[in-house]
Amino acid sequence: MKRRLAIYQAERPFCNLYVHLDKNNYLTNESIWFKAYLLSGTDLQNKVLFVRVKDADKKVVLSAQFPMYDVRAHGDILLPDTLKEGEYFFYAFTNSMLNLPAGQVFVQKIRIFKNNADNMEAEAGVTDSAKLRRGSPVDILVKLKKGNRYVTDVKGSYRLLVDDKPVKAGKITTNFLGEAFISFTYPQITDDQTLKVQARFTKDDDVADLNLNLRHEASPVIVKVWPEGGHLVAGVDNHVVVEAGDNKGNPLPTALILKDGDKVMARLQTNGYGIAQFNFIPQSISQYHFEVPGNTNKTPIAFTASIEPGAWSLQVIKAGNGFSALIHNQSKSDSCTLVLRSYDEVLWRKMILVEPGGSAHVDIPAAQYPRAVLSLALFNSRGLVTAERLLMNRQNEQIRISVQTDKPGYGQRQKVKVTISAEGEAGNPILANLSAAVVEKTRISAESYTTILDNYYYKPLSRSFADQHYSNAGANDLDAILTGKTWYGSDWASILNYKPKGYRKMFKSADGVSGQITSLKNKPLALKSLIMLSKNSIDEIPLTPEGTFYIPPESLTAQAGEKKYLMLNQDFYDKYAIKLNDYEGEYDNIVTYSGVFRFPDAYNTMVKLNDKTGINLKGTIQLHEVKIQNQVKTLGLSFDGRDFTSKTCNDYVCLYNILNCPNHKFGNPPVDGGIYTYQGHQVVYHGCASQVQPNHFLLKNISTPNNFILPDYDKDPSNEPELRSTVYWSPNLNTGKDGKVSFEFFTSDIKGDFTIMVQGVNAKTLRPVYATGTLVVK
């Protein structure tokens, strides 16, 4: 078994890539600051981290590459104000992951907002949700607000959609209270169809949109049945987990009744994860089904697990810190083997004798191993897996991280000192590599934010519902969740059925740029090399006799926005053709259609102001309020109020997002397409004025990360507004021999609670560490 597992893992590796984002709610003109950790698959040659941002239509709107160092990488991406408000996907992969299934990429859903403190906003709600029944009249109250006042006499339009097809449209106008009503009769749609309501209000150049997704009285409930161990065995007591979801793919808290014909077998209530569990003794001749009390859809919900008359069953029993297995043998054989393993290692095995019709209790040494999701599997006498279930062997983390501030509270623009301590179970100091962010609290939506613990333990699991996080689940809920899960593609059945190939397919040149030059008209290839041109160097790229070439990632590394080209002769295309291998572009397409971005629409009966975002929209620099008193010389620069092109190519942006700031003589380089303030105006930066020559072939840039700029108000007092919602970011903090590390920063002009989020790995074992703290600014 150890050999089969080792071969499988070697030929089908799993890369558990995690990316720590400073937050998941952003405004345009803010940067995403991030740190990547490779938690498994560390034996692969990972040199480049590819980062993408996709919009709701799954189109790449931003992309960048960053160098990896050992199992880490970090970087930043500016979100230009040309991006529309809405949901986006941040996702990342390494060059080695180009060879692996698309489901292994890291995906974090983020939301991007405009600074809409002065824009119209719409809130809406169904006045009586009990009337969400087909054929019943429905009223939706809409209110329009701008700042602190409601907006009157605003014209709007709405439409009703069934399966995204319009079925009705109308026009409305807000009254003297800023209110309007959308009234309609809930259409007679089928049970599995749903109704969407979309509305748009327009006044001058101001637009407010709202969307409601309405269920009805017979909306179907989808129920999945997961017997513990994977098999429902007739005639013995079985532990069963059920998952309930709506027809949009969301977990559903609901009442369920299990029936055998008209006989009630169990009454259940699923929780927020859509989970309920119970024990019962199934009979082969019975026909079980579920019903939902109060739902007028009377179509019986199928009991999806088949009942097996002669098989082994497996239940795990936890008592205190110990585990045991309860085995029932309904087969004709009298021997089996229990195997305990982690994702990549067999930990323990034991042969068990159980007479047909009998049962046995076996102690399992799960708690003696480090905290992990483990697999306990039962193999019959022929070596076939007959039951397998996952379990969490320890409830608590073995590394404790504490976050302490030097004072209980702070004022605006005050210095803060934070101390992080890492220690083991025995109180021994731990060496850890950490990333830390201090962020205005409402900018992190905890329910959709993936932590390093989520990724480390639960990334390999099969999923019934997208975007679920289990780190905060209680012990009983987590055990029920794991009962219904498998390691996707790495369960024992997949391993034993796998036929080794004897090799692992890898694109060895995917970390850099590779391609081929071919000669036209069947002439011999006379070229021996190509020339790569950049701002500071000219490099020769050798060609093989076959015309292939490879530029390593080290040669492509440059500052963000700096361009590198292959400089081709004027008559190059008359003699040759050039083709570059686009491994990452092809992988982007595979990822797009793989399903990793299929996040379901949730049902809702209301949209509230602020609640719909939950974020402080003042947490950024108000660019229109920034006043620059000093005059900046414009030698070598040209701009027209919106577009800015540099002829000197030595521009910088200070921490206040001001281009070539007269008050700060340092900063990060600007990014092509970035929006900055220049002499009191917002401008779109277009880089250097030099034009790309037709014989210059643009190459991808592997960007060196920018530094997060920290103001020092003791040394450099400033009257400029400081409204950054991320007031501290560091991708690499290392605890010392005492297990401690400290950092300092200044608070901003934002008052309220800030979250201190610390994530990272044990420097020796690469096990994850995570902690949060709170900072109060008054």
Range(s) for CATH 2.60.40.10 in the chain?
Answer: 133-216, 221-392
Residue 587: its pLDDT value, please?
93
Residue 644: its pLDDT value, please?
66
Looking at the chain, the whole-number percentage of residues with pLDDT higher than 70 is 91
Closest CA to 409 of 758, 772, 747, 722: 747
Average pLDDT over residues 373-402: 94
- Whether the per-residue pLDDT at 610 is higher than 70: the answer is no
DSSP 492-523: HHHHHH----SS----TTTTSEEEEEEEGGG-
Range(s) for CATH 2.60.40.1930 in the chain?
Answer: 2-115
Compute the mean pLDDT over every residue in the chain, rounded to the nearest whole number. Answer: 89
- Whether the per-residue pLDDT at 149 is higher than 70: the answer is yes
Residue 348: its pLDDT value, please?
97
**Measured in whole angstroms, how far is the alpha carbon of residue 346 from the centre of its chain?**
30
Residue 628: its pLDDT value, please?
24
* Range with lowest mean pLDDT among 202-211, 629-638, 673-682: 629-638
Confidence of residue 623 (pLDDT cuts 50, 70, 90): very low
pLDDT digits (tens, 9 = 90+) for 406-415: 999 999 999 9
Closest CA to 753 of 402, 410, 401: 410
pLDDT digits (tens, 9 = 90+) for 215-237: 999 999 999 999 999 999 999 99
Q: What's the rounded Cα separation, in Å, for the pair 470 and 584? A: 31
Residue 598: its pLDDT value, please?
84
Report whether 600 contacts 250 (CB < 8 A): yes
Helices (H), 397-552: 452-458, 475-483, 492-497
Q: Which residues pair with 229 in a beta bridge?
A: none
pLDDT digits (tens, 9 = 90+) for 628-656: 222 233 333 333 345 667 655 667 777 66
Helices (H), 40-115: none
Residue 641: its pLDDT value, please?
43
pLDDT digits (tens, 9 = 90+) for 343-362: 999 999 999 999 999 999 99
Looking at the chain, the whole-number percentage of residues with pLDDT higher than 90 is 68
Residue 547: its pLDDT value, please?
94
277 CB burial (10 A radius; 0-12, 13-18, 19+): buried
Q: Which residues pair with 557 in a beta bridge?
A: 702
Residue 679: its pLDDT value, please?
66
Q: Which tokens sit at 438?
A: 């201090």
Average pLDDT over residues 88-117: 91
The one-letter amino acid code at 340 reads: L
DSSP 190-201: -TT--EEEEEEE
Q: What's the rounded Cα separation, in Å, for the pair 336 and 208? A: 65
CB count within 10 Å of CB 220 equals 18
Residue 650: its pLDDT value, please?
64
Write the Ramachandran bin of 97: left for phi over 0, alpha for psi from -120 to 50, otherwise beta: alpha
Write the Ramachandran bin of 502: left for phi over 0, alpha for psi from -120 to 50, otherwise beta: left
Polymer length of the chain: 778
Pairing of strands 255-260, 301-302: unpaired
Pairing of strands 149-150, 60-67: unpaired
Helices (H), 511-579: 553-556, 572-575
Q: Which tokens sit at 735?
A: 């605890």
pLDDT digits (tens, 9 = 90+) for 720-763: 888 899 999 999 999 999 999 999 999 999 999 999 999 999 99
pLDDT digits (tens, 9 = 90+) for 418-467: 999 999 988 999 999 999 999 999 999 998 999 999 999 999 999 888 87
Residue 655: its pLDDT value, please?
66
Confirm or reject CATH 2.30.110.10 for domain 133-216, answering yes or no: no
Average pLDDT over residues 320-349: 94
CATH number of the structural domain 221-392: 2.60.40.10
Q: What's the rounded Cα separation, in Å, for the pair 600 and 368? A: 39
Report whether 356 contacts 330 (CB < 8 A): yes
Residue 664: its pLDDT value, please?
60
Residue 630: its pLDDT value, please?
28
pTM: 0.86
Residue carrying the six token digits 């067999």: 346
- Whether the per-residue pLDDT at 30 is higher than 70: the answer is yes
pLDDT digits (tens, 9 = 90+) for 513-545: 999 999 988 888 989 999 999 888 899 999 999
Pairing of strands 548-551, 513-519: antiparallel
- Whether the per-residue pLDDT at 624 is higher than 60: the answer is no
CATH topology of domain 2-115: Immunoglobulin-like (2.60.40)
Confidence of residue 117 (pLDDT cuts 50, 70, 90): low
Return the CA Rg of the chain: 30
In this structure, what DSSP letter does residue 371 have?
S
Most confident region among 36-45, 379-388, 649-658 by mean pLDDT: 379-388
663 or 333, greater pLDDT: 333
